[in-house]
A = this chain, B = another copy of it.
Amino acid sequence: MFENALAQAADEVSACLTQTLARYPNVPLTDAMRYAVTGGKRLRAFLVIEGARLYGVYPRQSVWAAAAVEALHAYSLVHDDLPCMDNDDLRRGLPTVHVKWDEATAVLVGDALQTLAFDLLASKECAPKASTRIELIQTMARASGGQGMVLGQMQDIASETALTPLNLDQITELQANKTGALIQWSAMAGPILAGQDVGPLRHYANALGLAFQIADDIMDVEGDAQKAGKRLNKDTEAGKATFVSLLGMDEAKKRASDLIDEAESALAPFGDKAQNLREAARFVIARES
């Protein structure tokens, strides 16, 4: 059930991105953009589509906001993988954009994918009312720019050269910015599309986002690089503070599990309709990539 829904969200988003990029000129830049938005779990897209479904908004509409958040996520990965940032050669089991093309292309692909994200949110298909689209754009800007994701990436880089490792509060804040804000946006897009209160799904996404990052730190230590499709053990090698180094493995696993319980509780008002989102929460801490 959940696996089907996840796969279907991934297919719908891929089709939407393919269709949109088909209107772009037939040049290497567009090829590289297409490459960068291919693959991945599409967890953020799934959260948009399932969150929207809870409020009666159909996938044929919510897929535009879902495609936008995946374009934005893809841009952040392409830039994050650059030699001057995390310097990763492998992403989703394939060569990263700067390896397959070159660094200049990777910078420009990331730039164009960010633009694409806002373009998708501004398109009429995303929401009939312009004011709804504006709300999606404003919340996306806050979640992803210098007050959100990009701030978190900067904090992450700074932490690598800091004299003392970050403490638990600092790591939590860093991760809330770096990955939490965009996960939260994804869950809130549905109620925004429906013109409803974002409160319940914000609560769900807060807990989910933090659990996601703790699970990432656990995977960095215990995971299988083959299944993960990316280099592991990076944080340990870099001597970076993580939830695992700060809490210990057992406590980190307990904390992640508690957060998933909290995420599930936040879905109580929706009853059975929220079953896919409940399973998504379990998936987040059980995933291998």
- Residues of chain A having any CB pair with chain B under 8 Å: 23-25, 27-30, 33, 75, 79, 82, 84-85, 102-105, 107-108, 110-112, 114-116, 118-119, 122-123, 129-131, 133-134, 137-138, 141-142, 144-147, 150-151, 153-155, 157-158
Judge whether B116 and A115 touch: CB under 8 Å.
no
Cβ–Cβ < 8 Å partners of A153 in chain B: 108
Complex contact B116–A146 (CB within 8 A) = yes
CB neighbours of A144 from chain B (8 A): 115
- Beyond the given A111-B111, A111-B145, A111-B150, could you list 11 further A-B residue pairs with CB under 8 A, ordered by the A residue number? A25-B151, A28-B158, A29-B151, A29-B154, A82-B107, A108-B157, A112-B151, A116-B146, A119-B138, A122-B134, A122-B138
Instruction: Knowing A24-B146, A25-B147, A133-B130, say if A104 contacts B119 (CB, 8 Å).
Output: no
Q: Point out the residues of chain B lying under 8 angstroms from A25, CB to CB.
A: 147, 151
Task: Across the A-B interface, give the 5 residue pairs with the lowest CB-CB distance, nearest first.
Answer: A115-B145, A112-B146, A84-B103, A119-B141, A130-B130
Interface of A is mostly: helix
A104 cross-chain contacts in B, Cβ below 8 A: 82, 84-85, 157
Given contact pairs A130-B130, A130-B134, A141-B115, A146 touches B107 in the complex (Cβ within 8 A)? no
Closest to A148 in B: B115
Q: Give Cα A8 to B25, complex, Å.
A: 39
Query: Within 8 Å CB of A24, what residues of B?
Result: 146-147
Number of copies: 2
Residues of B within 8 A of A147 (CB): 23-25
Q: How far is the CA of A141 from the CA of B154 in the complex (A)?
A: 25
Contact of A115 among B29, B33, B110, B150 (CB under 8 A): B150
Contact check, B150 vs A138: say whether CB atoms are below 8 A apart.
Answer: no
**Which chain B residue shows the least CB distance to A30?**
B146
Pairs A–B under 8 Å by Cβ, sample size 25: A25-B147, A25-B151, A29-B151, A75-B111, A82-B104, A84-B102, A84-B107, A105-B157, A108-B150, A108-B157, A111-B111, A111-B145, A111-B150, A112-B145, A112-B146, A112-B150, A115-B141, A115-B146, A115-B150, A116-B141, A119-B137, A119-B138, A122-B137, A123-B138, A137-B137
With contacts A82-B107, A111-B150 known, is A116 near B130, CB below 8 A?
A: no
**Do B114 and A115 touch across chains, with their CB atoms under 8 A apart?**
yes
Closest B-chain residue to A120, C-beta based?
Answer: B141
Contacts A119-B141, A131-B130, A138-B123 hold; do A154 and B110 have CB atoms under 8 A apart? Answer: no
Contacts of A151 in B (CB 8 A): 25, 27, 29, 112
Report how far A84 CA is from B101 CA in the complex, Å.
12
Do residues A85 and B107 form an inter-chain contact, with CB atoms below 8 A? Answer: yes
Give Cα distance in the complex from A107 to B157, angstroms: 12
